[in-house]
A and B are shown apart, each in its own frame.
Chain A
Amino acid sequence: MTLPTGSGQVQTLLVDALTEVVGPLNVTTAVEQYLTDVTEQPPGAADVVVRPGSADEVRKVLLAAAGAGAPVTPVVAGYNVAGLTIPRRGGIVLDLTRMNRIVEVDEDAMYVVVEPGVTFEQLKRHLDDQHPDLVYSYPFAPPSTSVLANALLDGLNNLSMRHGAMGQWVNGVEAVLADGTVVRTGAGGVVDKWFARAPLPDLTGLFISTQGTTGVVTRAALQLQPRPAARARWFAFADDLDTAYTAMRALARTGSFDDVGLMTWPAAKMLFGATRDLRRADDEPFAFLFLDMTGASDDELAARKDIAQRILDDAGIETVFPVEDLVRAVPRYGPLAELPTTLDFLLDFPGGGLTWVGSYGPGAGWVDGAHKGLGVLEEHGFPPFLVARPMAGGHYFVLRFVACFDKGDVAEVERVRAVMGRLADVVLDQGYVPYKASADAAQRILARAHPGFVELWSRVRGLLDPDGRMNPGRW
């Protein structure tokens, strides 16, 4: 039986069926908080919110949804800056925050198995307390956001320069398909250890960057890394993007550093409370690089510092200093020094709007793409705010253009929509591909994609979700 969603009949049927699965306290028709996020994406629509507490409850919810023909939009923190969890076609919002167990940490094979509701704050505390020899990779994102969602959406964290986008950290998943079938991928699908994706058909990729359209992941095994014995963090000032790129490229290629990231000058001004009418003085740096260096010993760290200093000198970067010195003098910089972190200066922007186009692509187009993207932001009246990072040892780079805006200002929201569309085209023109792509960006990607890519993706999606009910409106 497939009923049109949004009708009173389907609502009643769904609520009754879902209540039977998860209990009355975990089903609500108060959907308002799920219909918007911090971005410029328009409000969505939904009939009911259900909060399962286990994979089996997810399975039963999806069976009920399949029976009613109801769309399903999964959500955890709802903080992905692309409107990816705004329900577009009514139906069920599947709030996974109750599923917040850290199922297993394998110290020997260095992985953790988490449910979708596990937050970065929770994982970090758990590792620090229970497994102090291991670390995960953390983003410039609020500590309350989902570890698993970040990995499935191929985000970039503070060890991504060394180890790649977070999708690469997933050793395997357990997921529930649209028809209620429970599936497993990776080594954990074959043996009782989720040690790697290899040497099996790589089915894990079916759930990476697919934005919940192929199924609901109920747990994932994520790689951990050894905690280094020694660590140092530096800030460095770059006067232009060419200099910054030269330094980032060289640093990444040594394989000696954990992280090298970049933010342009508006980020620093916003940190001090500036919101609009940002101006850069001639004697101010254009971009700020942050370096994270570790070593198995103080001597190894010292050697890496020498390498970093030489590379920065060669690139023409004169101003380099330890992050700790800055944080001690200006405690406001503290949130930049320890991840995960809530960047209040972005979230507190008057009007509360935050959005970006982030993309991965080849280093060769980075400088040109950065200039063009920053130009587009300025043409539309936004500060030239760029975040960047080499990824996976320099195999590819990040270009992320950020805009804060007033969500209550209709004209500004329209301006943001226009600029985000233009930016998606700019990065695609440079050979970059948006990650965590908004619905609009996804359509722009598919419009340029090879027909073979589109055909394969269409077949895969048709196979796993023939009714198109899983997070509809995406891809």
Chain B
Amino acid sequence: MNAASCQSHPVTCPNVNDRDPFQRRTATLGSVLPWIAELGRTIPGLVDSYARKDVLNPRTRERIILAVTEVNGCRYCAWIHGSWQDFLGDVPTGTAEDALLVYARACADAGRPLDPGPLAETLPPEAIRAIRATVAQIEVSNLVGNTVDGLLARATRARPFDPLATLQEIAAVGAALPLAVPMLGAAAFLKAVERIAPRLGDIDKPEAGEANLLVHVLAEAMPLLLANAAVRLVVLNLPVRVPVAVRAGRTTATMRVGQGGVTLENGVAGDAVAVVEGEVDTLLKLVTGSLLREIANVRIRPGRG
């Protein structure tokens, strides 16, 4: 719920009133407590949301965060998590994610955690717990971020001075600073990496009719594989194109990565430095981000190069 809708739903926006021209929700006991309680109920989910890609994909997590932030209008969180999302890279998502974003926005609109029941039809309990925790933590962050702006508004007299409220706001911001400052630093770092990481240009490969299916799939999946700015920074800046072969089922291909680009060819090249072998589904999951879980299911052996 944005400021305008808060005005039309004062019951759900307890800290917004007609006399205060600052119309974004800020951190008050009443606004923060439901989210703190939600975090308390879902704390393992908060850990999972950052530690387990199989529970909640980081790109999905960041989309949820940005969806909530868009509703609450917190510019600091938008900057931090926008940087994070840019660093991770944007990749296409399925329609299944739409339901998560709808749920996250609805929670933000309501200003309190909502029943995640509808998500249970398609998601396991641990994923739902991670989503709830993600929404709760960014809600708290949004409220604190907005409180900073609220204080600035008071300082510039764009907002009436209220000693008690000001003290409360200072306390809320002060409590959040130990976490907020490192987050801002980390976001600045991620943004810098994203800016200096080379972009993936055209991929050299055989003619479409000649390229084998693995070459086609790798070419299609390469933007996904190199979506992460840190990966691009390292891999595309290699001083030579490093040949790595891939065997998926029976079909083989060789990727040459480095010097700002990627070349793909049919078969295992004689100079391949390594051969990554695995079943097709394992390699597909590797491509789509289940790296930590699937890495154990592939074999990497030295090539003849």
Where the two chains meet, the residues of A that have a C-beta atom closer than 8 Å to any C-beta of B are 237, 239, 265, 268-269, 272-281, 283-285, 318-322, 324-332
The answer on a CB contact under 8 Å between B249 and A319 is: yes
Q: Which of B111-130 contact A (CB under 8 A)?
A: none
Say yes or no: is B259 at the interface (Cβ < 8 Å to chain A).
Answer: no
Residues of B with C-beta under 8 A to A325: 281, 284-285, 288
Let me know if B208 and A275 touch, CB within 8 A. yes
Point out residues on B near A: beta carbons under 8 Å: 92, 94, 207-213, 216-217, 220-221, 224, 248-252, 266-267, 279-281, 284-285, 287-288
B278 to A: closest C-beta gap in Å: 11
Provide the residues of chain B in CB contact with A329, threshold 8 Å.
217, 220-221, 224, 284, 287-288
8 tightest A-B CB contacts, nearest first: A321-B281, A274-B208, A319-B249, A274-B209, A272-B216, A325-B284, A281-B212, A277-B209
Please tell me if the beta carbons of B212 and A321 are within 8 angstroms of each other in the complex.
no
A319 is contacted by which of B92, B94, B267, B280 (Cβ under 8 Å)?
Answer: B280
CB-based contact B267/A281 at 8 Å: yes
Given A284-B251, A285-B251, A331-B92, CB of A269 within 8 Å of CB of B288: no
Q: Are A283 and B208 in contact (CB under 8 A)?
A: no
Residue pair A281, B281 in contact (C-beta under 8 Å): no
Distance in angstroms from B123 CB to nearest chain A CB is 14
Contact B251 A330 (CB under 8 A): no
Q: In the assembled complex, how far is the CB of residue B60 from the closest CB belonging to chain A, in whole angstroms?
A: 12
Contact B281 A272 (CB under 8 A): no
Contacts of A318 in B (CB 8 A): 249-250
CA distance A329 to B246 in the complex (A): 16
- A283:B250 contact, CB within 8 angstroms: yes
A-chain residues with CB within 8 Å of residue B251 when the two chains form the complex: 281, 283-285
17 A-B contacts, Cβ less than 8 Å apart?
A237-B250, A237-B280, A269-B213, A272-B213, A274-B209, A277-B209, A284-B212, A319-B279, A319-B280, A321-B284, A324-B94, A325-B281, A328-B288, A329-B221, A329-B224, A329-B288, A330-B221
Bound Cα distance from A331 to B219, whole angstroms:
12
Q: Is the CB of B210 within 8 A of A279?
A: yes
Shortest A447–chain B CB gap in Å is 38
Whole-angstrom CA separation of A107 from B186 in the bound complex: 57
The listed residue with most B CB atoms (<10 A of its CB), out of A277, A324, A325, A327, is A325
Task: Report the bound CA distance from A320 to B249 in whole Å.
Answer: 9
A269 touches B216 (CB 8 A): yes
For B285, the chain A residues whose CB sits under 8 A away are 325
Contact of A269 among B209, B248, B266, B281 (CB under 8 A): B209
CB atoms of B287 and A272 under 8 A apart: no
Q: Which residues of A sit under 8 angstroms from B212, Cβ to Cβ?
A: 280-281, 283-284
Residue of B nearest to A281 (CB): B212
Residues in B whose Cβ lies below 8 Å from that of A237: 249-250, 280
Q: Are A319 and B250 in contact (CB under 8 A)?
A: yes
Q: A237-B280, A331-B92 are in contact. List 17 more A-B contacts (CB 8 A).
A: A265-B213, A268-B216, A279-B209, A279-B210, A281-B212, A283-B252, A318-B250, A319-B249, A319-B280, A321-B280, A322-B281, A324-B94, A325-B281, A325-B284, A329-B284, A329-B288, A331-B220
Q: Is B267 touching A273 in the complex (CB atoms < 8 A)?
A: no
B residues within 8 A CB of A326?
Answer: 284
Whether A330 and B217, one on each chain, are in contact in the complex, defined by CB atoms closer than 8 angstroms, is yes
Q: Which B residues are in CB contact (< 8 Å) with A284?
A: 212-213, 250-251
Residue of A nearest to B224 (CB): A329
**Contact residue among B221, B248, B266 (Cβ-Cβ distance under 8 Å from A281):** B266
Q: List B contacts of A275 (CB < 8 A).
A: 208-209
Chain B residues with Cβ under 8 A from A277's Cβ?
207, 209-210
Cβ of A283 and Cβ of B267 under 8 Å apart? yes
Quick one: closest A residue to B283, CB to CB?
A329
The residue of chain A having its C-beta at the shortest distance from the C-beta of B279 within the complex is A319
Q: Are B208 and A272 in contact (CB under 8 A)?
A: yes
Q: What CA separation (Å) do A355 and B217 show in the bound complex?
A: 27
> Is the Cβ of B209 less than 8 Å from the Cβ of A276?
yes
Q: Which of A237, A283, A285, A322 has the most CB of B within 10 A?
A: A283
Determine whether the beta carbon of A330 is less than 8 Å from that of B220: yes
Q: Measured between C-beta atoms, what is the minimum distance from B269 to chain A in Å? A: 14
Measured CB to CB, the nearest residue on chain A to B212 is A281
A280 vs B214: C-alpha distance in the bound complex, in angstroms?
A: 12
Alpha-carbon gap, A265 to B221, bound state (A): 20
A365 to chain B, nearest CB (A): 29
Given the complex, which residues of A lie within 8 Å of B220, measured CB to CB?
272, 329-332
Which residues on B sit within 8 Å (CB–CB) of A279?
A: 209-210
Best-surrounded residue of A284, A319, A322, A329 (most CB of chain B within 10 A): A329
CB closest chain-B residue, reference A271: B216
Q: How far is the CB of B79 from chain A (nearest CB, A)?
A: 29
A263–chain B nearest beta-carbon distance, Å: 12
* B249, closest chain A residue (CB): A319
Chain A residues in 8 Å Cβ range of B209: 269, 274-279
| A118 → chain B closest CB, angstroms | 24
Most chain-A Cβ atoms within 10 A of its Cβ — which of B216, B267, B280, B285? B280
User: Which residue of B is nearest A320, CB measured?
Assistant: B281
Is the beta-carbon distance between B250 and A239 smaller than 8 angstroms? yes
Alpha-carbon distance between A322 and B250 when the two chains are bound, in angstroms: 18
Least Cβ–Cβ distance between B275 and chain A, in angstroms = 13
Across the interface, which residues of A come within 8 angstroms of B216, CB to CB? Answer: 268-269, 272
Minimal Cβ-Cβ distance residue in B for A280: B212
- Which of B248, B250, B252 has most chain A Cβ within 10 Å? B250
**In whole angstroms, what is the CA distance A321 to B288 when docked?**
14
Q: Which residues of B contact A320 (CB under 8 A)?
A: 281
Chain B residues with CB under 8 Å of A273's CB are 208
Residue among A237, A320, A330 with the most chain B CB within 10 A?
A: A330
For residue B287, which residues in chain A have a CB less than 8 angstroms away from its CB?
329
Q: Which of A269, A272, A285 contacts B250 (CB 8 A)?
A: A285
Q: Which residues of B contact A239 (CB under 8 A)?
A: 250
Cβ–Cβ contact B213 & A268, under 8 A: yes
Contact between chains at A269 and B280 (CB < 8 Å): no
Which chain A residue lies CB-closest to B282? A321
Bound Cα distance from A319 to B251, whole angstroms: 11
Q: B266: which A residues are within 8 A, CB to CB?
A: 281
Expressed in whole angstroms, the Cα–Cα distance for A326 and B248 within the complex equals: 13
* A residues less than 8 Å from B211 (CB atoms): 269, 272, 274
- Residues in chain A near residue B280, CB distance under 8 A: 237, 319, 321
Chain A residues positioned under 8 Å from B221 (CB to CB): 329-330
- Roughly how many angstroms separate A392 CA and B27 CA in the complex, as a whole number? 64
Expressed in whole angstroms, the Cα–Cα distance for A279 and B210 within the complex equals 5
Smallest CB–CB gap between A332 and chain B, Å? Answer: 6
Name the residue on B nearest A269 (C-beta). B209
Chain B residues whose CB sits within 8 angstroms of the CB of A319 once the complex forms: 248-250, 279-280
A321 to B279 alpha-carbon distance, docked (Å) = 9
